[in-house]
């Protein structure tokens, strides 16, 4: 899957570069006038519904449970088991966006930087009890289980009803990256996939990178500089394997070169856009 996505993104980048080179070449012969380029900034928020596999991925990974090795005078003792009653994460969250782009006639391109509030499953207690093979027990610390993600997409859109119409529809597609960050429940011991070496989670976030393909359709009302839009879309996300202390996490089913660590979301949101005048428009205003 990752090979296919990488090939797709490579082809997309090469296509964009080829188009850009062609456009610059034609600009010399009057294909476009840079004085008509308009910049814009947008801020938006949306309601994101997670694909079932995405919710399963987050809950399976975030609540992974390991054991603890304690060194004693008699040797190492391994403790495991015990109950940790965390609340699992919901299948939706709020997305936040900052957009910076440019428009030439009906064509638009922009960078969409996305964020989200941290999702938190509070610890049920400060510690939990794990057990050794001989039945003895020991308490170990618990932390809030948390996750959040952020990323960016390079988008390309087209204003279907004209450059400056009051009502418009803007389909768009793009590609980018995303980073998911997870804080685990305790200092669990995990095992290295390749060498069998053991190591422990720490009280910190661990991350996995993803490639993304994003598509959306915006319905917009445009008032000269200011525009109000409602948009709907789907974002295709596939995460790499999670790296913990430089090693692959092996306590989950989400391992291996061909894994599909699904991060797909369907979204519906509201966007406010400020569109700057082009140099040509500014010159016309100065003549008045």
In a domain, 12, yes or no: no
In a domain, 4, yes or no: no
The set of residues, in sequence order, having a beta carbon less than 8 Å from that of 4 and lying 6+ positions away, is none
Residue whose structure tokens are 């054991």: 67
For residue 35, the 8-state DSSP code is: G
Given its phi and psi angles, is residue 246 left (phi above 0), alpha (psi -120 to 50 degrees) or beta? left
Q: Output the domain CATH number for residue 160.
A: 2.40.160.20
Which one has a higher pLDDT value, 2 or 180? 180
Q: What is the pLDDT of residues 65-122, one digit of tens each?
A: 888 888 888 888 888 888 888 999 999 999 999 999 999 999 999 999 999 999 999 9
Q: Is the pLDDT of residue 249 over 90?
A: no
Given its phi and psi angles, is residue 196 left (phi above 0), alpha (psi -120 to 50 degrees) or beta? left
Q: What is the pLDDT of residues 23-36, one digit of tens each?
A: 444 444 455 678 88
What is the residue range of 226's domain? Answer: 33-287
Report pTM: 0.81
If one counts the domains in the chain, the total is 1
Q: Take residue 96 and report the two structure tokens written for it.
A: 């936040």
Q: What is the pLDDT of residues 193-246, one digit of tens each?
A: 665 677 788 899 999 899 999 999 999 999 989 999 999 999 999 888 777 777
Contacts 24+ apart (CB under 8 A), 245-249: 245/199, 245/200, 245/202, 247/190, 247/192, 247/193, 247/197, 247/199, 248/192, 248/193, 248/194, 249/61, 249/64, 249/190, 249/206
In a domain, 224, yes or no: yes
Q: What is the pLDDT of residues 114-132, one digit of tens each?
A: 999 999 999 999 999 999 8
- pLDDT value, residue 16: 47
């Amino acid at each position: 899957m990752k090979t296919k996505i990488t090939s797709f993104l490579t082809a997309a980048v090469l296509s964009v570069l080829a188009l850009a080179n062609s456009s610059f070449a034609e600009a010399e012969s009057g294909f476009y006038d840079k004085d008509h380029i308009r910049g814009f900034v947008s801020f938006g928020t949306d309601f994101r519904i997670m694909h079932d596999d995405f919710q399963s991925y987050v809950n399976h990974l975030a609540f992974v449970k390991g054991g603890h090795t304690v060194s004693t005078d008699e040797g190492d003792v391994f403790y495991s088991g015990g109950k940790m009653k965390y609340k699992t994460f919901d299948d939706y969250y709020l997305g936040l966006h900052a957009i910076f782009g440019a428009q030439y006639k009906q064509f638009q391109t922009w960078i969409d930087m996305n964020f989200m509030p941290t999702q938190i499953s509070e610890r049920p207690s400060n510690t939990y009890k794990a057990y050794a093979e001989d039945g003895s027990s020991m308490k170990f610390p618990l932390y809030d289980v948390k996750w959040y993600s952020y990323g960016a997409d390079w988008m390309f859109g087209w204003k279907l009803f004209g450059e400056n119409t009051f009502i418009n529809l803007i389909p768009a597609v793009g590609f980018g990256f995303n980073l998911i960050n997870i804080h685990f429940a305790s200092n669990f011991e995990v095992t290295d996939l390749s060498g069998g070496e053991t190591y422990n989670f720490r009280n910190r976030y661990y991350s996995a990178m993803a490639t993304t393909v994003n598509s959306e359709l915006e319905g917009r009302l445009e008032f000269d500089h200011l525009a109000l839009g409602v948009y709907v879309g789907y974002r295709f996300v596939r995460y790499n394997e999670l790296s913990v202390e430089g090693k692959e996490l092996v306590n989950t089913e989400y391992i291996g070169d061909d894994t599909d660590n699904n991060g797909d979301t369907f979204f519906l949101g509201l966007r406010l856009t400020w569109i700057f005048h082009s140099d040509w428009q500014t010159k016309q205003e100065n003549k008045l």
